[in-house]
Every structure is written in C-alpha cells, then in structure tokens.
C-alpha cells in the first residue's frame, strides 16, 4: 500500500506574496552579488535611525525587484533607502518591507518613463509610473521611491 505524502499548503499567512523577510546582511549579500551598492547619509545601517539605510526585515521580493530593475534597464542603481525609520507609515511602506529608494540617474529615469504607464502621483511625489506587475515608481525631489507588492 502506498503511503500518502503530506504536502504543505502555503497560505498568505505562511509566505507573503512578496517573499520572505530578510535580515540586513542577507539583503546586502544579494545586492552585492549583482553589484548594486547602497549608501546612507549617516554612514550606518541602524533601522531605528532615519539617517541610516537599513534593509532589516525587507521582503525578498523587494530586493529581487531591484535586481530585476537593474537587469532589465541595464542601468547602474544605488539604493539610498530601505526599512529605516523616517518614512511615511502604511501597510505597503518602507517600514513594512515593500519599498526602497534609489538614487536619481538619467538612465534609470529614462527607463522608468519609457517602460511603464504614467499614473497620478501620490501626495509626496512629482510623477509616478506603474509596471504591468503593479509595482509603483514615484519620483520625489532627489530619488525614486519604489513599491514592490
């Protein structure tokens, strides 16, 4: 008689649609593998300090989205914001692990503007674009704020 195999069922509570939570070091290792640097105005990675850039508890899907953006665009990217304090709150926020900030650059700006559909920007943005996957790219004064759902 054959033995039935127990197959785990993944639910929204067991694995988020955006992947799994990463530590800061795990996220940085993934970025390092593909040559994406990150910077901090305070030269630190303390999640509680708004002068730092932290990736603590960021979703793997958010990091994967940045890696895919660099690959698809062919542009050099630099992350300037992650899950550190000081961003607007919300269910799909930086703190919640869904958003990153990247430095402005002509290459990536041209790619976003030519590849995605322009949508009305949120209150904090100058212009905004949405990808077919539902990712949102919002231009702020000195960076792109990117939401990966």
**Average pLDDT across the chain, whole number:** 89
Give the pLDDT band of residue 18 (cuts 50, 70, 90): confident
Count Cα atoms within 13 angstroms, Cβ side, for 12. 0
pLDDT at 137 over 90: yes
pLDDT tens column, 113-125: 999 999 999 999 9
pLDDT at 5 over 50: no
**Count, residues in the chain:** 149
pLDDT at 92 over 50: yes
Tell me what the mean pLDDT of segment 115-138 comes to.
96
CB 130 within 8 A of CB 136: yes
Q: How far apart are CA 31 and CA 50, in angstroms?
A: 21
pTM of the predicted protein model: 0.86
Give the pLDDT band of residue 81 (cuts 50, 70, 90): very high
pLDDT at 7 over 80: no
């Amino acid at each position: 008689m054959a033995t039935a195999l127990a197959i785990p069922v993944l639910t929204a509570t067991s694995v988020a649609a955006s992947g799994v939570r990463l530590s800061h070091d795990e996220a940085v290792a993934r970025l390092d593998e593909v040559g994406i640097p990150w910077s901090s105005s305070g030269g630190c990675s303390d999640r509680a300090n708004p002068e730092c850039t932290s990736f603590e508890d960021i979703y793997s899907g958010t990091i994967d989205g940045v890696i895919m953006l660099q690959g698809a665009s062919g542009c050099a990217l630099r992350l300037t914001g992650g899950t550190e304090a000081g961003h607007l709150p919300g269910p799909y926020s930086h703190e919640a692990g869904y958003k990153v900030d990247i430095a402005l650059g002509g290459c990536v700006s041209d790619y976003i503007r030519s590849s995605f559909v322009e949508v009305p920007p949120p209150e904090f943005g100058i212009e905004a674009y949405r990808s077919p996957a539902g990712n949102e790219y919002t231009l702020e004064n000195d960076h792109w704020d990117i939401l990966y759902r």
